[in-house]
Structure 1
Amino acid sequence: MLYELRIYHVNPGKMQALHERFRDHVIDLFLKHGMKIIRYWEDINDANNRLYYVVEHNDMESRNLNYERFRNDPEWIEVKRISEMDGPYLNNQESIFMKDVAFFENK
């Protein structure tokens, strides 16, 4: 399994709107395209204005294919267009890719 930690650097004043977009649209769209979100977090320091989440993928090839389908989904294109009419939600996005280690089994 491949895990992708996505770090969103959110523009000032856009965090709540980003939460709503994930809640109302993105979670279901990710599932539609074979991507499972494991968990969300916010930075403990509000001044950092960052949202973190982990997406589970089978492998890098399926990750890339799933994101390509997601980005080209007409529903996503419209949701993003409408939601960002007053400006983009993000000023930067990072991805860190991780895999399980052999010595740890979550019990």
Structure 2
Amino acid sequence: MIYELRIYTMYPGRVDAIRKRFSDHTLSIFARLGMQVCDFWEDLEEQPKLYYTMKYESMEERTRQWEAFSQDKEWNEVKQKSEQDGKIVASVEQIFMKRADYFNG
């Protein structure tokens, strides 16, 4: 199993736009495409950041899922519409992880 931590940094004043996009559209598109989100967080110190983890069987599965997502008609329409007032995401950091064998939590 592979886990991916995704860290999104938003442009100033665009946190509400990313919240709305995820809550109203992106998470349901992920679910429809079989993409599994494990957990989702907002920055405690109110930095313009979101953090979430996803789970995959393999890197090949991850690549297939993200390719399908990037080509999804609904996603592309949502992205375009949500960015009419300007881009939302300044950067995305991706960290790939595997569970430690010695952890039983």
User: Is the pair's TM-score, using the shorter chain for normalization, greater than 0.5?
Assistant: yes
1:19 paired to 2:19: yes
Separation in 2 of the partners of 1:24 and 1:105?
Answer: 35
Aligned residue for 1:68? 67
Give the TM-score normalised by structure 2. 0.95
Give the share of equivalent positions with the same residue, in percent: 42
**Deviating runs (4+, > 3 A) in structure 1?**
none
- Give the conservation status (yes or no) of the 8 Å contact 1:33–1:67: no
Corresponding position of 1:77: 76
- Partners in 2 of 1:98 and 1:44 — Cα distance? 23
* Equivalent position SS for 1:86: coil
The residue matched to 1:9 in structure 2 has which SS?
Answer: strand
Structure 2 stretches of 5 or more lacking a match?
Answer: none
TM-score (ref. length: structure 1): 0.93
**Structure 2 equivalent of residue 53 of structure 1:** 52
Matched, 1:30 2:30: yes
| Cα RMSD (Å) | 0.9
Q: Following the alignment from structure 2 to structure 1, what is the Cα–Cα distance between the partners of residues 25 and 33?
A: 13
Provide structure 1 residue ranges, at least 5 long, that are not aligned to the other structure. none
